[in-house]
Structure 1
């Protein structure tokens, strides 16, 4: 006898359907194409960094690139998940839930920026749609500048 393998969302589940659940599980939280391209460009300029690391160990937030000696944390934010003012489009299904989710992400981003700044870190944030070479150049210039600043004074 064949078992019924129909997926049913548990009460209060974030996934409104089996298809939505599969879609959400396939979304990467790290190693996205924009991240990988920026990392490759920064690495080619001779800089080394940590990937998907916590800048501050007791803060449960990870940056996409972390330059510990110079205290620079880099985030490459996805337009949808972080509410890009140019590209964010509210979803048509379950819009209340997803809009609240994005709003919480934006609030957490601001909280992360504040906490890292208070801990002496410089936070660089880029949107996934920004040109990778422009992002990489800004990162390299910032890290080198902070290296020179810390060694000279």
Structure 2
């Protein structure tokens, strides 16, 4: 299990590089917040997570399973419980961050790999929305974490 990365994963690096190319600046693995978000824009209170499909229980339908339980049926109880705990923890972290006034974006590994431009667009749109609410008029290219 020690070879399973929890930070600087391929999807995280892809998204970070794409955001950086757009001129967006951010903080990485921000430990001052619940869940230690992968990417954070502190000024605009936006937390971003890059979730692995398997470890966070996504895409079982695409793999032709009728449920997450069916997909995990050939794994030991330990791993089934681990993935279910990850799903529960994700929901808890989302609520905690929301209660603190943060917006949370979660991107699936497969979405980042298949359409990173859409992910970047979602981030930029949320940044623009938050900037308008805050009364800032400069372009998003100067958004800072």
Settle same-fold status: TM greater than 0.5. Answer: yes
SS in 2 for 1:108: helix
The reply on whether 1:151 has 2:135 as its aligned counterpart is yes
What is the 5 A alignment of 1:121-132? 121-130=102-111, 131-132=115-116
* Equivalent residue for 1:138, pick from 117, 122, 133: 122
Name which of 9, 13, 16 aligns with 1:39: 16
Offset at 1:44? Answer: 1.1
Question: Take 1:136 and 1:119, find their aligned partners in 2: how far apart are those partners?
Answer: 24
| Two-structure CA RMSD over aligned residues (Å) | 1.7
Q: Is the 8 A contact 1:45 1:140 kept in 2?
A: no
Alignment coverage as a number of residue pairs = 125
The yes-or-no answer on 1:82 pairing with 2:82 is: no
Name the TM-score, length of structure 1 as normaliser.
0.75
Query: Any idea what SS the aligned residue of 2:40 has?
Result: strand
For structure 1, list consecutive stretches of 5 or more residues without a partner in the other structure. 1-23
Rg bigger for which structure?
Answer: 1
TM-score norm. by structure 2 comes to: 0.79
Structure 1 segments of 4+ aligned residues over 3 angstroms from their partners: 85-89
2:143 — aligned with what?
none
